[in-house]
Amino acid sequence: MTAEPSIAESGELAGLTAVVTGSSSGIGRAIAIELASAGANCLVHGNRNRTGADETAAAIAAFGVAVRVELADIADRDECRRLAEAAWQWRGGIDIWINNAGADVLTTAASQATADEKLELLWRVDVAGTFQLSRAVGARMKQRGRGVIVNVGWDQAETGMEGDAGQIFGTTKAAVMAFTRSLAKSLAPEVRALCVAPGWIKTAWGDAASDYWQGRAKRESLAGRWGTPQDVARVVHFLASPKNDYLNGQTIAVNGGLAK
């Protein structure tokens, strides 16, 4: 009796290699697990959270795909180069690269920093890190003749939000979204570049948010609820799939529909 093929052999992304930055927790972890569940071999990246990265890797390994963990500080240009090189050499190329890593200025010690300090950190990680990694990997993908890069923006970057958080995240995530459009034109047709723009997604900050923010998150989505990391992961999977290779240069909001 012939055994049923495994996910690693028959999944939609079987045989492909994916890298998800910032996948030691939260949205990045959900994306890495989602891609692995479709058969992709996956490199898990974290900054210093080795325990979290190993937990993500263990969840991925359960699907029978190859998995590797790499730690790197994306705020450091040399570390970006090292990560890109290590990831590319792991399996002789990369098919899917997800730039999810972002500086956490809401739930870490950085939450006590000034607005200027937060902006600088977000610029170094979310913007410069995405820029450097996309260019390093994108050039290799184009030479190889295939690949897709998905970046992470913010749904309110184009509409605006009051307060320091709105100004800081709006500035940096709008830059990522603009960069994605130019990257797509630079790498086409061999390589696609897309962006997801999450709305109110319940990660660590949302779990501890006040009643005001709990209510606001629900009011500002036509879905009437918080989004989940899995909501974002499923959209990333859709964009990364070779079946959807006519999508390029777009930013897709993942917010249940913005109500305001």
DSSP single-letter state for residue 220: T
CA–CA separation, 4 and 1 (whole Å)? 9
Which of 152-161, 190-199, 238-247 has the least mean pLDDT? 152-161
- Give the amino acid at 129: G
> How much is the pTM?
0.95
59 touches 35 (CB < 8 A): no
CA–CA separation, 65 and 21 (whole Å)? 18
190 touches 147 (CB < 8 A): yes
Model pLDDT, residue 10? 78
Q: What is the DSSP string of 114-152?
A: -HHHHHHHHIIIIIIIHHHHHHHHHHHHHHHT-EEEEEE
Q: How would residue 9 be classed by pLDDT, with cut points 50, 70 and 90?
A: confident
According to DSSP, the residues that pair with 201 across neighbouring strands are: 227
Model pLDDT, residue 103? 87
CA–CA separation, 94 and 103 (whole Å)? 24
DSSP single-letter state for residue 5: P
Which architecture characterizes domain 7-195 according to CATH? 3-Layer(aba) Sandwich (3.40)
Which of 40-49, 112-121, 238-247 has the least mean pLDDT? 112-121
Model pLDDT, residue 161? 84
CA–CA separation, 234 and 227 (whole Å)? 12
Model pLDDT, residue 8? 73
Q: How would residue 3 be classed by pLDDT, with cut points 50, 70 and 90?
A: low
- pLDDT tens digits for 68-107? 999 999 999 999 999 999 999 999 999 999 999 998 877 7
- Which helix (H) or strand (E) segment holds residue 31: the answer is helix 26-37
According to DSSP, the residues that pair with 194 across neighbouring strands are: 150
Measured in whole angstroms, the distance separating CA 210 from the mean position of its chain's CA atoms is 26
Mean pLDDT of the chain: 94
Phi-psi region of 257 (alpha: psi -120 to 50; beta: other; left: phi over 0): left
194 touches 249 (CB < 8 A): yes
- For 48-80, give one letter per residue: b (16+ CB within 10 A) or e: eeeebbeebbebbeebebebbbbebbbbbeebb
Q: Going edge to edge, which strands form the sheet with 96-99?
A: 67-71, 41-46, 17-20, 96-99, 147-152, 191-198, 251-254
- pLDDT tens digits for 17-72? 999 999 999 999 999 999 999 999 999 999 999 999 999 999 999 999 999 999 99
- Give the amino acid at 143: Q
Model pLDDT, residue 2? 56
- pLDDT, average across residues 147-172: 94
CA–CA separation, 56 and 44 (whole Å)? 7
19 touches 96 (CB < 8 A): yes
Measured in whole angstroms, the distance separating CA 80 from the mean position of its chain's CA atoms is 15
